[in-house]
Amino acid sequence: LVGMPAAGDVVRDTSADDVPPPPPLAAAVEELELRERHRQIMATEANRDLLESQTPWLANEPVWAHPIARAERGCLLVAAADQFSDKQEYFAQAVILLLDHRPEGSVGVILNRPTQWELNEVSSAIDECFGEQRLYFGGDVGAGTVLVIHGDGDVDGAREVTTGVYLGGYDSVVERVSDGSSKPQDYKFFSKCCGWGAGQLDREVEAGVWHPVSAARPLLLKQVLQLPKPLWREVMELCGGDLADEAKDAYAPRDAFDQQQSNDDDDDDDTYPQF
């Protein structure tokens, strides 16, 4: 009959020729990884944009972080992902600026624990020029203590913790904000602090409780409010290697959920398998 294939020809159903086959598993996984990298790039850029809007004088400085062998004054202490899940939960994924580290003990403040309170709601001793600035929870010791951290080298009475990062000088800070030399958001206020006894912090570092990290000034000084990428994750990813992998594993369930939500909202992905 006319139009019938000859013997030996391959017979196939052409009705589905216009429907592309689903990609193999490897291609689908690669697609998901590309999307995740893109999402992280966008979050990093959003962090940078937020920094520029909050403290523009920090936005042009390079941002970097790398692990170091031991704790030292001015470094960051980044909580290991598997720590503080069932006790002292305020230390879970904490990023601590180490203000002092001596044989007799150590002191720091948690950088990424903003409270719901503005300064004018918690203390009448704070000058009204800082009234709307957010108060941070600095740690679990030193009741009644309020510390101010900043990058203003012109503040009288401040102590340099590490290059370009200062502690204290409150009276001078008030003068500089009042006369317009600085802005209120250039300063971060912390209620209480973290404390370790003689040798305690070194033992905790050796036990893997904390990752000591040397980091750029913007990571130490920026306001940690409404960050698209959490500070803990940002620092760990900048460190690369094992720490970046640790952060990736810690956020894998959340990333998978976010990716699923994105897939559900994207009509172009209907032919791709969902994970």
The topology under which CATH files domain 37-263 is VC0467-like (3.40.1740)
Which tens digits make up the pLDDT trace of 83-134?
998 889 999 999 999 999 999 999 999 999 999 999 988 877 788 888 889 9
What's the rounded Cα separation, in Å, for the pair 11 and 153?
80
CB 173 within 8 A of CB 185: no
Torsion of CA 228, 231, 234, 240, to 10 degrees: -160
Q: Is the pLDDT of residue 271 over 80?
A: no
Quickly state the pLDDT bin for 256 (edges 50, 70, 90). low
Would you call 107 helix, strand, or coil by DSSP?
strand
* Angstrom distance (rounded) from CA 64 to CA 214: 8
d(C-alpha 15, C-alpha 54), whole Å: 58
Reported residue count of the chain is 275
Would you kindly state where each structural domain of the chain is located, as residue ranges? 37-263
SS3 of residue 70 by DSSP: coil
For residue 240, the SS3 value is: coil
CB 79 within 8 A of CB 93: yes
Per-residue pLDDT reduced to its tens digit, 1-50: 334 334 443 334 444 455 565 566 655 555 555 655 555 565 556 666 66
